Chain A
Amino acid sequence: AQSVSQHNHHVILSEAASLELGCNYSYGGTVNLFWYVQYPGQHLQLLLKYFSGDPLVKGIKGFEAEFIKSKFSFNLRKPSVQWSDTAEYFCAVNAAGRRALTFGSGTRLQVQP
């Protein structure tokens, strides 16, 4: 069964600091990878996704993620965070051919002004 690990449960940063959130998955075959964000009181929305091709994926709001197949990782990055990035971030995976996504436990990001 596929699983997803997010190592950072709660991250506190000051504005303009750089962000990297870790995500590792356990599945040996072809995978599709996603990062979702949930702002306070809002529904989950997609930040970015990787299906194939360039392993460096750019998403909305200045976020990017890098797929490293040898490390089974898909870490999320942003060079300079803003207070408005305060939210919970979820990494998700699905094996090729599967319909449902498997989510990690989430990382709560708090950005202090």
Chain B
Amino acid sequence: DVKVTQSSRYLVKRTGEKVFLECVQDMDHENMFWYRQDPGLGLRLIYFSYDVKMKEKGDIPEGYSVSREKKERFSLILESASTNQTSMYLCASSTDRDTEAFFGQGTRLTVV
């Protein structure tokens, strides 16, 4: 079974803090993704990576950056957290052969 693990289920951070969300997958997948999920908006793609040190912006990259130093790990960074970044963040991975995405449990981030 593919396993995608996000380091925290719940986080509370203060406005202006630098926030790191970590994600690890154990199936040697080439692609990793960060989405945010908001009620009524579904899932929106923030960034994705198709190889180590390679990244591409998604639909809503503003205020975020990412890091992929190892194939199994993909980090989402909020450089200076703001209240409008309060959301559920979902990490996913997939292979190039089959674009089905496998998801982690999600991290519910609250910025106060």
Binding site for B on A (CB under 8 A): 4, 6, 9, 32, 34, 36, 42-46, 49, 90, 92, 94, 98-106
Query: Inside 8 A of B42's CB, which chain A residues have their CB?
Result: 4, 6, 90, 103-106
Give per-residue flags for B18-54: 1 if the beta carbon is below 8 A from chain A beta carbons, else 0.
Answer: 0000000000000101010000111111001010000
Cα A30 to Cα B106 in complex, Å, equals 30
* B85 interfacial by beta-carbon distance below 8 Å: no
* B96 interfacial by beta-carbon distance below 8 Å: yes
Query: Inside 8 A of B103's CB, which chain A residues have their CB?
Result: 36, 43-45
A-B contact pairs, 6 of them (CB 8 A): A43-B103, A49-B100, A100-B45, A101-B45, A105-B42, A106-B42
**Nearest Cβ in chain A — how far from B23, in angstroms?**
12
**Nearest Cβ in chain B — how far from A34, in angstroms?**
7
Query: Inside 8 A of A45's CB, which chain B residues have their CB?
Result: 103
Cα A49 to Cα B94 in complex, Å, equals 14
Q: Report which of A94, A100, A104 forms a contact with B58, defined as CB distance below 8 A.
A: A100
Q: Given contact pairs A42-B105, A98-B99, A106-B42, enumerate 7 new A-B contacts (beta carbons under 8 Å).
A: A6-B42, A43-B4, A44-B90, A92-B101, A99-B50, A104-B42, A105-B41
